[in-house]
């Protein structure tokens, strides 16, 4: 096993992981703001949110691992690498990000429909 190939693969995931964490943090902040506005904030919901985010993160990482596996063990799978290995993990990543973006858009819509307090 060539560790330079593995290390370059792992380092290539760093930007995607950082962006994922930023989007999840923004979703968390927007959810907390909404919960505070409707007076439903509860610390007990935070572990569930984190576990959910970890589940989505693991789904994306496993898609990346499955796409990288043939290259890692040295299998020649012409066509597979072009079609599946490059696109499939990014599609999974895109769906995961869309889940969090949709959640933030929902909160933004909620905040826009709130009545403004009169001064």
pLDDT (tens digit per residue) in 39-57: 888 999 999 999 999 999 9
Q: How confident is the model at residue 117 (pLDDT cuts 50, 70, 90)?
A: low
For 84, residues 6+ apart whose C-beta sits below 8 A from its C-beta are 67
Longest dimension (CA), the chain: 70
Q: What is the pTM of this model?
A: 0.81
Q: CA–CA distance from 30 to each of 11, 25, 34, 41, 75 (Å)?
A: 30, 9, 6, 12, 45
pLDDT (tens digit per residue) in 94-107: 999 999 999 999 99
Report the pLDDT value the prediction gives residue 48, as an integer from 0 to 100: 94
Say if residue 77's pLDDT is above 70.
no
55: left (phi over 0), alpha (psi -120 to 50) or beta: alpha
Structure tokens at 43: 């610390």
Quote the CA–CA distance of 104 and 11 in Å, as a whole number.
28
Q: How confident is the model at residue 115 (pLDDT cuts 50, 70, 90)?
A: low
Which of 107-116's residues contact partners 24+ apart within 8 Å by CB, and which partners?
107/30, 107/31, 107/33, 107/34, 108/30, 110/34, 111/33, 111/34, 111/37, 114/37
Q: What is the mean pLDDT of the chain?
A: 85
């Amino acid at each position: 096993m060539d560790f330079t190939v593995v290390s370059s693969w792992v380092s290539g995931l760093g930007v995607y992981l950082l962006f994922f964490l930023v989007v999840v943090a923004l979703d968390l902040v927007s959810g907390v703001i909404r919960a505070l506005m409707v007076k439903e904030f509860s610390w007990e919901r935070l572990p569930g949110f984190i576990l959910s985010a970890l589940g989505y993160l693991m789904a994306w990482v496993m898609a990346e691992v499955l796409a990288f596996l043939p290259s890692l063990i040295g299998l020649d799978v012409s066509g597979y690498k072009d079609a599946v290995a490059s696109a499939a993990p990014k599609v999974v990543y895109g769906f995961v990000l869309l889940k969090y973006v949709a959640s933030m858009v929902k909160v933004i819509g909620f905040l826009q429909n709130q009545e403004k307090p009169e001064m």
